[in-house]
Amino acid sequence: MREPRRPDPEPLLRRVQEEEARAQRAKLKIFFGAAPGVGKTYAMLSEARERKAEGLDVLVGVVETHGRSETGALLEGLEVLPRKELAYAGQFLPEFDLDAALKRRPALILMDELAHSNVLGSRHAKRWQDVMELLDAGIDVHTTLNVQHLESLRDVVAQITGVTVRENVPDTVLERADEVELVDLSPDDLLVRLKEGKVYLPDQARHARDHFFRKGNLLALRELALRHTAESVDAQMRRYMASEGIHKTWAAGDRLLVCVGPGELSERLIRGTRRMAGALGAPWMALYVESRKHLKFTEDDRARIENNLRLVEKLGGETAVIEGAGSLQEDILTFAQDRNITKLVVGKPSRPRWMDLVMGSTVDDLIRHSGDIDVYVISGEPGKEPAAPLIRRPITSPVHNYLLAAMTVALASFVAVLIFHRTDLADVVMVYLLGILLVATRLGRGPSLLASILSVAALDFLFVPPYFTFAVTDFRHVGTFGVMLLLGVVIGNLTERIRAQARLARGREQRTHALYRLGQELARSAGSAALVASAIQNVTTQFQSQGVVLLPDEHGRLQMPDYPMAFPLNEQELGVAQWVFDHAEPAGLGTLTLPGARATYLPLNGAHRPIGVMGVLPERTPRWVEPDQRQLLEAFATQTALALERAQLAEQSAQDRRRADEERLRNALLSSVSHDLRTPLGVITGAVSTALETPDLAEPARRELLQSAQEEAQRLHRLVSNLLDITRLEAGSLDLHTEWTPMEEVVGAALNRKELAPEAHRVRVSLPEDLPLVAMDGVLMEQLLLNLLDNALKYSPPGSPVDIKAWATGKSLTLSISDQGPGIPPGEEERIFEKLARGRAASNRPGAGLGLAICKGIVTAHGGSIQAVNHPQGGAQFLVSLPLGTPPPMPEEAP
């Protein structure tokens, strides 16, 4: 029996930690179905009633009965969480109350329709995000999901049904589930339920039966649901086997593994395995073990390995390349047991039987130690397989190494001659063995073998009687010669193996370091453009090649990048890249698809779809013809794709937040402005109507009405002007017409505005006569002063003064407007410049909260700054700082 390999403590510790974390986290159970109406909600409620009967605290968060009486009856006796009402599009819609559920904190909560999109204004956009927060809070969740809502199946479902499902759930949520229960119903029974009105209302049922609920669609969706449930159950089974330390294969379903190498027989093995997998309806994969022999393969051998692995992918199989840690059969069987392989396919050995007896046979070892795994030995076509040479070991050591080995033996002989008369023959043998050891560790296996032979010859010639001949009179020395020669060969082989393992370890370290460096640079890069630049730089450095990353437009067509490309792309190369993007498969140089291209193109596959293409043009022979380098290049592409996807998702999330903020701002603006518009319009309408409908109205009363209408019209004019100004600021279309203007001129123009006429006497102005000119837009600065003065007068006690002061210091001019009002609450100094922000004392004062936001926009456009502080003597003080420049020289006055 094969001795079990000692388990690696690192994966064992990681597995224990994962099991502990899984045991402590909240449980998620998904009732999974192929289509609406199969009974997912019914099954979820039935189990909830059983759990409640066992004494568990069960809360119904969201359950949609869709008018089904038998489903609604199951809600009786269960606590239902009240929903909150959210305003949307002029109406109030009921939605799940996440905060109330977290406060209630039940042991188990029911969340129907996992793919549901929440009403705008909810904490999360999707219900599955609510579920993840509930799980993070330690609350077990039962939920329902249809297969068409899985993100990875969106395109497949659209192709089958002709309907693009908009509400999707990431596959990671399904993978997070601790249990997936399939609720299955045959298509015929589901169509009967649909006809009976148990799925949709009659009108909706007829439409559904003619479109989504066709029998062919239901059959395909049912197969998808069964397959995904089987994959979930298989993952749970493998986790259980790993946690329980079960190393045997559980043949719950057939899985085929074929071992490939550089030989021409590998291609036939791959095709034969594909036929077997197709006949069995089983998944299959190919394995290549990268042992120390890989370093001795020629370029043709490595190219054949790469082509064989690409053939596996082309035929629909999975590929795996592992680095050998022990014997070949041990590595293969360990991998097969880890992947729960049931059938192993290997090639029939073609070398003579005596070589198997002398050097061992991997096929025999696999059959002897395979345990529960079936081993299939396949032969190629008779006469087609080329005969392998008996010894296929190219000379890897240069000639001068053999000369150094001979010189080392000569030096050892010289030392041995010096000590021969003072020591025994055994000490002389040790001197030669030391020389052999030095040659083996420094020069390789071939020179060490030569040193062993020369050492035996020198020992016999110089130190064994009769001296200076190769004759041996005492046959006891023959054993010494044999042991010495054997030790030399063994030492040479062992040191060569250690050197090979060291080279493999260095290769692994270099690949790991390359991936680590790429990950570090991608993590430090901000934005898609920086990520692309980092990825191209790392690919160029690692593979001695030129790289390019192509991203699609909104129509799915790859666009030429904005940055200078390392190599030009003609229409043919761009067409190859577009094919890669459309089919999510590699193509171009060194592949089986469009191999005539100048470069190799790899898809940048995100979590659910390709997000771009990476092109790599080698400077010389491509380094990625070797499997390990090909895997490293694919790992580079995967890392780049995931980083790009994260960046794009972050940008999309920021855009969504901006849109949500704009939507909230628009709603708040409409709500505020509608009130402020109605008030002056109501006054104007009432005053004008009274004046028109009352002919005998006294002149003073008529004049008073018209004056109030005028005041409200001016107020309405200011409001509309503010709206137009804030719109221009938001759109970035605020044009400055700057002139060198004295500040006192702008202040005087603002005080002479009609809007301030009734309160202008309260404003006290104190401006030095030597204030410098300022380059500014006089009209906009006048509007700024008007808004600040209106704000100060509005919040000041009646009759209290408002002070305007100015002073120049260094490179700026500061304008101060201060009042004697209630001041600014602590912490509100920055917020009051935001749109629609109003002070706490503004509830009984008119205004839309736009004036200060407009002031900040105007000052920022001038390159200045504005701040609000509380005056030491009380009240608020607004400080406007404008940059000073060098005004043009004044024209000289004529004498």
Predicted confidence at residue 49, as pLDDT, reads 92
Burial class (CB in 10 A: 0-12, 13-18, 19+), 316: exposed
89 pLDDT above the threshold of 70: no
In this predicted model, what pLDDT tens digit does every residue of 640-680 receive, in sequence order? Answer: 888 888 887 777 777 777 777 666 656 655 555 555 566 67
Question: Which one is predicted more confidently, 495 or 26?
Answer: 26
Q: What is the C-alpha separation between 628 and 334, in angstroms, rounded?
A: 20
Question: Two tokens at 593?
Answer: 């698809």
Give me the percent of the chain exceeding a pLDDT of 70: 80
Secondary structure letter of residue 873 according to DSSP = T
Q: How confident is the model at residue 434 (pLDDT cuts 50, 70, 90)?
A: confident
Of the ranges 169-173, 628-632, 795-799, 861-865, which one carries the lowest mean pLDDT score?
628-632
Helices 778-795 and 699-731, axial angle in degrees (round to 10): 120
Q: How confident is the model at residue 190 (pLDDT cuts 50, 70, 90)?
A: confident
Q: How confident is the model at residue 894 (pLDDT cuts 50, 70, 90)?
A: very low
Distance of CA 141 to the CA centre of its chain: 26
Give me the percent of the chain exceeding a pLDDT of 90: 8
888 pLDDT above the threshold of 70: no
Helices 299-314 and 627-693, axial angle in degrees (round to 10): 40
Query: Stretch 690-719: mean pLDDT, rounded?
Result: 76
- The CA-CA-CA angle for residues 355, 358, 363, to 5°, reads 65
Find residue 603's DSSP bridge partners: 613
Query: Stretch 422-437: mean pLDDT, rounded?
Result: 83
In this predicted model, what pLDDT tens digit does every residue of 143-163 receive, in sequence order? Answer: 999 888 888 777 777 777 777
Of the ranges 132-136, 247-251, 428-432, 553-557, which one carries the lowest mean pLDDT score?
247-251
Secondary structure letter of residue 827 according to DSSP = T
For residue 768, the SS3 value is coil
Average pLDDT, the chain: 78
For residue 804, the SS3 value is strand
- Asked if omega into 398 is within 30° of 0 (cis), the reply is no
Question: Two tokens at 842?
Answer: 């503004």
In this predicted model, what pLDDT tens digit does every residue of 390-399 receive, in sequence order? Answer: 334 444 567 8
Predicted confidence at residue 102, as pLDDT, reads 92
Question: Which one is predicted more confidently, 828 or 26?
Answer: 26
Residue partners of 412: CB distance under 8 A and separation at least 6: 431, 432, 434, 435, 455, 458
Q: How confident is the model at residue 471 (pLDDT cuts 50, 70, 90)?
A: confident
Of the ranges 14-18, 437-441, 748-752, 786-790, which one carries the lowest mean pLDDT score?
14-18
Kindly tell me the number of DSSP H helices and DSSP E strands found in the chain. Answer: 26, 25
Q: What is the C-alpha separation between 446 and 399, in angstroms, rounded?
A: 10
In this predicted model, what pLDDT tens digit does every residue of 494-525 receive, in sequence order? Answer: 777 777 777 767 767 777 777 777 777 777 77
In this predicted model, what pLDDT tens digit does every residue of 59-79 receive, in sequence order? Answer: 999 998 877 778 888 888 899
Of the ranges 226-235, 402-411, 610-619, which one carries the lowest mean pLDDT score?
226-235
CB 173 within 8 A of CB 114: yes
Give Dmax (Cα) for the chain: 156
Of the ranges 106-120, 183-197, 503-517, 524-538, which one carries the lowest mean pLDDT score?
503-517
Q: What is the C-alpha separation between 95 and 72, in angstroms, rounded?
A: 19
Secondary structure letter of residue 599 according to DSSP = S
Between the CA of residue 728 and those of 725, 732, 734, 861, what are the distances in Å? 5, 6, 6, 12
Query: Stretch 560-569: mean pLDDT, rounded?
Result: 75
> Identity (one letter) of the amino acid at 133?
E
Q: How confident is the model at residue 364 (pLDDT cuts 50, 70, 90)?
A: confident
Query: Stretch 244-256: mean pLDDT, rounded?
Result: 64
Predicted confidence at residue 895, as pLDDT, reads 47
Phi, psi of 808, deg, nearest 5:
-115, 130
Of the ranges 416-425, 461-470, 512-521, 846-855, which one carries the lowest mean pLDDT score?
846-855
Predicted confidence at residue 192, as pLDDT, reads 80
Question: Two tokens at 567?
Answer: 């190599």
793 pLDDT above the threshold of 80: yes
Q: How confident is the model at residue 47 (pLDDT cuts 50, 70, 90)?
A: very high
Distance of CA 634 to the CA centre of its chain: 16
Predicted confidence at residue 59, as pLDDT, reads 94
